[in-house]
Amino acid sequence: MVPPLFWPLFLSPLKLSPSFRGPFSLGVRLGANLTAGHMILHIISDFGAQMLASGTVAGGVGGVLCTSMLFPICVLEMAVAVVQAYVFCMLTTMYMKDAHELH
């Protein structure tokens, strides 16, 4: 059993961990969402380029369709980035407010 004199030493990491978990999980989520969007764009553009390079008529048509879909997906990706930034800012503000008021 730990003497009461040393309780702050053992309880401090437990009290500080919620302050770091929230912003860390937000950063991981934001990074994962941005990476997923970039990967989708990369996969579709590579697929379209390979279809265009195949030299067949069907490959040409498919390649043009794939590359023409990149612009709408880029617009969607920008909209997702705006929403993610908004959510990140709102939750970070809430975490900071809670951390300030509780201490």
Query: DSSP string spanning 55-95?
Result: -SHHHHHHHHHHHHTHHHHHHHHHHHHHHHHHHHHHHHHHH
**What percentage of the chain exceeds 70 in pLDDT?**
90
With 90 as the cut, is the pLDDT of residue 42 above it? yes
pLDDT tens-digit readout, 12-26: 776 667 667 777 888
Q: How far is CA 95 from the centre of its chain?
A: 18
Taking the complete model, does pTM exceed 0.75, yes or no? no
Residue 23 carries which side chain, given as an amino acid letter? Answer: P
Q: Please, what sign has the CA dihedral across residues 33, 38, 39, 40? A: positive
With 70 as the cut, is the pLDDT of residue 2 above it? no
Mean pLDDT (whole number) for 82-100:
85
